Amino acid sequence: MRRLTCFLIWFLLSQTPGFEIPTDGLPEFVDYEDLVELAPGKFGFAPENRRQQRSLSGESEETMGAVDQVTLYSYKVRSTITSRTATTIIESKVVNNSPQPQNVVFDVQIPKGAFITNFSMTVDGTTFRSSIREKTVGKALYSQARAKGKTAGLVRSKALDMENFRTEVNVLPGAKVQFELHYQEAKWRKLGSYEHRLYLQPGRLAKHLEVDVWIIEPQGIRFLHVPDTFDGHFEGVTVVSKGQQKAHVSFKPSVEQQRICPSCLETAVDGELVVLYDVDREKKAGELEVFNGYFVHFFAPESLDPIPKNILFVIDVSGSMWGVKMKQTVEAMKTILDDLRAEDQFSVIDFNHNVRTWRNDLVSATKTQVADAKRYIEKIQPSGGTNINEALLRAIFILNEANNLGLLDPNSVSLIILVSDGDPTVGELKLSKIQKNVKQSIQDNISLFSLGMGFDVDYDFLKRLSNENRGIAQRIYGNQDTSSQLKKFYNQVSTPLLRNVQFNYPHTSVTDVTQNSFPNYFGGSEIVVAGKFDPDKLDEIQSIITATSANTELVLETLAQMDDLEDFLSKDKHADPDFTRKLWAYLTINQLLAERYRSLAPTAATKRKITKKILQMSLEHHVVTPLTAMVIENEAGDERMLADSPPQDYSCCSGALYYGSRVSPDSIPAWANASPTPVVPMPVEGRVLESTPPPHVMRVENDPHFIIYLPKSQSNICFNIDSEPGKILNLVSDPESVGILVNGQLVGAKKPNNGKLSTYFGKLGFYFQKEDTKIEISTKAITMSRRSRTSVLSWSDTVHVVNQSVLISVKKGKAVTIALDKEMSFSVLLHRVWKKHPINVDFLGIYIPPTNKFSPKVHGLIGQFMQEPKIRIFNERPGKDPQKPEASMEVKGQTLTVSRGLQKDYRTDIVFGTDVPCWFVHNSGKGFIDGHYKDYFVPQLYSFLKRP
């Protein structure tokens, strides 16, 4: 049925007397002449007005037989996506080769939520251009000078996720028409990809059919896929070229290729061209793009453990669910339950006029429980009425109770998923009262999602219900794939990765920030925030994102330079340098419309204020919204057409999974500022990490050079360890009291230098037994695990995470500081080398202040010196190398020969380091360290040192 309803362009015949349209010869029409005689289009769907017109003109039925000689000369669709901001232009040229005037209809489908920005049309030499006006102004203009024989309009489509733009023009014999439509939209990431759909329905063979999609993503394109949506007909026609940050999809079937079969006159181009892609975000959690006085901030972290969820499925099993709906719901529920994670808690409530529960409390999603719940659901026989009020209140009660009794993991997310097909018929029937009841009893950590089954639901009720309780509603259409729609929706919310996500832009010249506070972030999606700033006052933008993950509090700091993108954008002719402004405007207008839609405005004055803002922005950014209309007029201004937007639902930013709220963009939560240890500077205070490093610390750098500072004798003792790649050395092992472990794994250089293969620390493992926290720092990433939950931090972000008493602070590309209570701290520096360096590899340096409070039993290559051994250095004398004097050192009952040397400390200068003079102990520290260095090998990254 959909097929029948979605013709992109209908070329319709009608034998009406031609309206007067000026014709000025045919000089430009030469190239149309050689066009092969194309098929009569599908004209089984002549509009009603044809019948009407026919009866008016008194023509007979015969006119139906007139051969359609309207030919489609060209049909071009061009889309450019720059950082999720898509602009599409549809252009089509048509000529009337018949001896009769013809009605030509340009009818294109555009995605719901897209903003139309421009339309132009040339009818036989007369050009019509569009402008965006306030609706009433547009209407007044229209009534002054209606165009004869032409109409234009935006129509809410019968199709569910799109609407139509339709123009109808009467064309004289021999005349040509050219249409061009522009629209804008934002791409929302869903289930791990962006989807760009173009509806291609030229309705007939086109001499030139060209579709181009250019994608420019500064973050880099991770994958791009063009699924076959034409049943293999156009195999090999679609050409995809993909570079690092740019991609181009081209679809240009020849007339022969367009034919549905070799001798057919019908076109096979009748469907959607879909482009799926995702961007690279392995390196960075947040992407802040700044340009032309606007910034857009994309946030889609992935390497986080899912937050456990407490989920209540509230399923309508009333009589109206009988049949396919129930079957499909049961089928979907079985998969959904199987997808629950072991750490999730759940229950199922089914309701008709009575409310039943599978379990009265939340239970863990173990295999047996899930199996039992599935059996329960399978047995449901729908009947009776619909008591939504009581069902929801029961669900809320169960969650609230569990929360009050402390049965919920404080770091979990609570969700209610309501599946219903109807309006209440039992119990509380007043919809506004149900809304009130739910709002009153629901705790503010619960999100309510609603799925409206079928067409005949009181969907607005479900939408209001969800939107005011931190969720969204979705209509589940049709019958056949109800089950997959349900699953797809569930998959979108099944993986909460963060809670309380807030975006802060502390600088005062940042203004007009879009919604920047979100209750949840779900894996596979993306949060987008945009704003304005004054480029004269700021040349970089700072953002601080605060959020709670499964195991930590997270503070993510990003700095973006004003002109970071300038170079990149100027190099590509398809890149839209205006994308930041467009995306900001798109988000702002949609959010304002949603605010109006969600009926939150408490007073008429507020409403007027929002309306004024929407109107002003729609005019300023030239978009058709419910408050504006597009006036299309000829140059003389004596013929006009009008197109305005059909009302639609702006419930949640047109396709985004989130609706957020606005908070002051510089209101950083208190906990993000509260540093558990003063050693670690916080970014908010504007200090640089380790700007004033404690002068004397224990450190290991380079191919591991150890520098041990002995405070009592105020001297530095150094030694090297030369071992093999892969070996793990214990640095600190303190199993007593708190239980602290630091191990380092060696990596080798790419090849030997002067016959010697250098080794470096490529990976460090920290284990804090009491906190049950393991931190692995490699040259690639920082991974923190607590019990079974893991967060991965990237070296490309400046980020702080607080996990009980452990604070990890990453300074982008430079250093990690780990602080434990106020007692201990460790710093790790990242040494990056040129990627193509023939020998050197990236490595880590570690710094441990001697003030760390270990137990007396602490050991390890560094740990053992926390209990300072008595040393005496005497008999300083010139060495073989005059630069390196020698001396004797008495330590641990032995006398060693040591040489004077210089080692490096890189805390203030990561490239050159600062020199640290020290006494060098030869033979891998033999005599200075307890035993042999090989005694410090441990089997695993988190193994304690076995004491002899």
- 251-310 residues near other proteins, rule: CB under 8 A: none
For residues 32 and 739, give the distance between their C-alpha atoms in angstroms, rounded to a whole number. 84
**Residue choice 21, 311, 399, 431 for contact with other proteins (CB under 8 A):** 431
Residue nearer to other proteins on the CB measure, 76 or 353? 353
627 part of the interface to other proteins, by CB under 8 A: yes
Q: How far is the CB of 626 from other proteins (least distance, A)?
A: 4
45 part of the interface to other proteins, by CB under 8 A: yes
Q: How far is the CB of 139 from other proteins (least distance, A)?
A: 7
51 part of the interface to other proteins, by CB under 8 A: yes
Residue nearer to other proteins on the CB measure, 156 or 537? 156
The string of DSSP letters for 431-466 reads HHHHHHHHHHHS-TTEEEEEEEESSSS-HHHHHHHH
Q: Are 177 and 93 in contact (CB under 8 A)?
A: yes
Q: Which stretch binds other proteins (CB under 8 A): 222-230, 448-456, 503-511, 547-555?
A: 448-456
911 part of the interface to other proteins, by CB under 8 A: no
455 part of the interface to other proteins, by CB under 8 A: yes
456 part of the interface to other proteins, by CB under 8 A: yes
914 part of the interface to other proteins, by CB under 8 A: no
For residues 97 and 454, give the distance between their C-alpha atoms in angstroms, rounded to a whole number. 46
Residue nearer to other proteins on the CB measure, 421 or 797? 421
Q: According to CB under 8 A, which residues from 641 to 680 bind other proteins?
A: 641-644, 646-647
**Residue choice 40, 47, 125, 173 for contact with other proteins (CB under 8 A):** 47
- The position carrying tokens 């197109």 is 643
Q: Which stretch binds other proteins (CB under 8 A): 152-160, 237-245, 529-537, 838-846?
A: 152-160
Residues contacting residue 587 through CB under 8 Å, at least 6 positions apart: 186, 514, 515, 528, 529, 530, 653
480 part of the interface to other proteins, by CB under 8 A: yes
Q: How far is the CB of 235 from other proteins (least distance, A)?
A: 29
For residues 491 and 335, give the distance between their C-alpha atoms in angstroms, rounded to a whole number. 10
942 part of the interface to other proteins, by CB under 8 A: no
**Residue choice 625, 716, 864, 924 for contact with other proteins (CB under 8 A):** 625
**Residue choice 76, 139, 359, 922 for contact with other proteins (CB under 8 A):** 139
Spatial CA neighbour of 586 closest among 650, 535, 675, 526: 650
Spatial CA neighbour of 344 closest among 320, 312, 322: 312
Residue nearer to other proteins on the CB measure, 306 or 452? 452
Buried b (16+ CB within 10 A) or exposed e, 130-167: bebbebeebeebbeebebebbbbbbeebeeeebbbbbb
**Residue choice 323, 711, 813, 931 for contact with other proteins (CB under 8 A):** 323
Q: According to CB under 8 A, which residues from 825 to 854 bind other proteins?
A: none
Q: Which residue type, as a one-letter code, is found at position 660?
A: G
Residue nearer to other proteins on the CB measure, 403 or 450? 450
Q: How far is the CB of 599 from other proteins (least distance, A)?
A: 3
Q: Which stretch binds other proteins (CB under 8 A): 77-85, 131-139, 249-257, 583-591?
A: 131-139
Residue nearer to other proteins on the CB measure, 392 or 642? 642
Tokens of 437: 């009841």
475 part of the interface to other proteins, by CB under 8 A: yes
Overall size of the chain counted in residues: 948
Neighbour count for residue 612 (Cβ, 10 Å): 11
**Residue choice 17, 28, 156, 563 for contact with other proteins (CB under 8 A):** 156
Q: How far is the CB of 638 from other proteins (least distance, A)?
A: 17
- The position carrying tokens 């291609």 is 200
131 part of the interface to other proteins, by CB under 8 A: no
Q: According to CB under 8 A, which residues from 333 to 362 bind other proteins?
A: 353-354
Q: Which stretch binds other proteins (CB under 8 A): 63-71, 236-244, 510-518, 622-630?
A: 622-630
634 part of the interface to other proteins, by CB under 8 A: no
Q: How far is the CB of 362 from other proteins (least distance, A)?
A: 24
430 part of the interface to other proteins, by CB under 8 A: yes
Q: What angle do CA 152, 157, 160 make, to 5 degrees?
A: 155
Q: Are 288 and 253 in contact (CB under 8 A)?
A: no
Q: Are 295 and 538 in contact (CB under 8 A)?
A: no
First to last CA, the chain: 80
Residues contacting residue 225 through CB under 8 Å, at least 6 positions apart: 193, 275, 276, 277
Q: According to CB under 8 A, which residues from 365 to 384 bind other proteins?
A: 383-384
Q: Which stretch binds other proteins (CB under 8 A): 216-224, 623-631, 726-734, 860-868?
A: 623-631
Q: How far is the CB of 193 from other proteins (least distance, A)?
A: 26
**Per-residue CA distances from 945 to 291, 743, 933 (Å):** 53, 9, 12
HSE-up of residue 73 (Cα within 13 Å, Cβ side): 19
Residue 645 CB-density burial (10 A; 0-12 exposed, 13-18 middle, 19+ buried): buried
Residues contacting residue 245 through CB under 8 Å, at least 6 positions apart: 216, 217, 218, 219, 220, 221, 568
**Residue choice 173, 385, 725, 879 for contact with other proteins (CB under 8 A):** 385
Q: Are 171 and 253 in contact (CB under 8 A)?
A: no
135 part of the interface to other proteins, by CB under 8 A: yes
**Residue choice 88, 267, 310, 318 for contact with other proteins (CB under 8 A):** 318
110 part of the interface to other proteins, by CB under 8 A: no
106 part of the interface to other proteins, by CB under 8 A: no
**Residue choice 79, 126, 130, 320 for contact with other proteins (CB under 8 A):** 320
Q: Are 368 and 285 in contact (CB under 8 A)?
A: no
Q: According to CB under 8 A, which residues from 599 to 618 bind other proteins?
A: 599-604, 606-607, 611, 615
3 part of the interface to other proteins, by CB under 8 A: no
478 part of the interface to other proteins, by CB under 8 A: yes
Tokens of 888: 């004797």
Spatial CA neighbour of 123 closest among 638, 642, 634, 637: 634
Neighbour count for residue 838 (Cβ, 10 Å): 9
Tokens of 448: 């309510």
Q: How far is the CB of 823 from other proteins (least distance, A)?
A: 53
Q: How far is the CB of 434 from other proteins (least distance, A)?
A: 10
Q: Are 431 and 441 in contact (CB under 8 A)?
A: no
**Residue choice 210, 423, 566, 886 for contact with other proteins (CB under 8 A):** 423
**Residue choice 66, 426, 781, 833 for contact with other proteins (CB under 8 A):** 426
Q: According to CB under 8 A, which residues from 161 to 180 bind other proteins?
A: 166
Q: How far is the CB of 157 from other proteins (least distance, A)?
A: 9
For residues 135 and 133, give the distance between their C-alpha atoms in angstroms, rounded to a whole number. 6
For residues 176 and 732, give the distance between their C-alpha atoms in angstroms, rounded to a whole number. 83
Q: How far is the CB of 385 from other proteins (least distance, A)?
A: 6
Cα 802 to its chain centre, rounded Å, is 24
Residue 63 CB-density burial (10 A; 0-12 exposed, 13-18 middle, 19+ buried): middle
Q: Which stretch binds other proteins (CB under 8 A): 621-629, 684-692, 704-712, 804-812?
A: 621-629
**Residue choice 429, 757, 902, 910 for contact with other proteins (CB under 8 A):** 429
Spatial CA neighbour of 503 closest among 528, 466, 472: 528
Q: How many residues bind other proteins (CB under 8 A)?
A: 84
Q: How far is the CB of 355 from other proteins (least distance, A)?
A: 10
Q: Rg (Cα) of the chain, in Å, rounded?
A: 35
Q: Which stretch binds other proteins (CB under 8 A): 51-59, 722-730, 771-779, 925-933?
A: 51-59
Residues contacting residue 5 through CB under 8 Å, at least 6 positions apart: 157, 158, 159
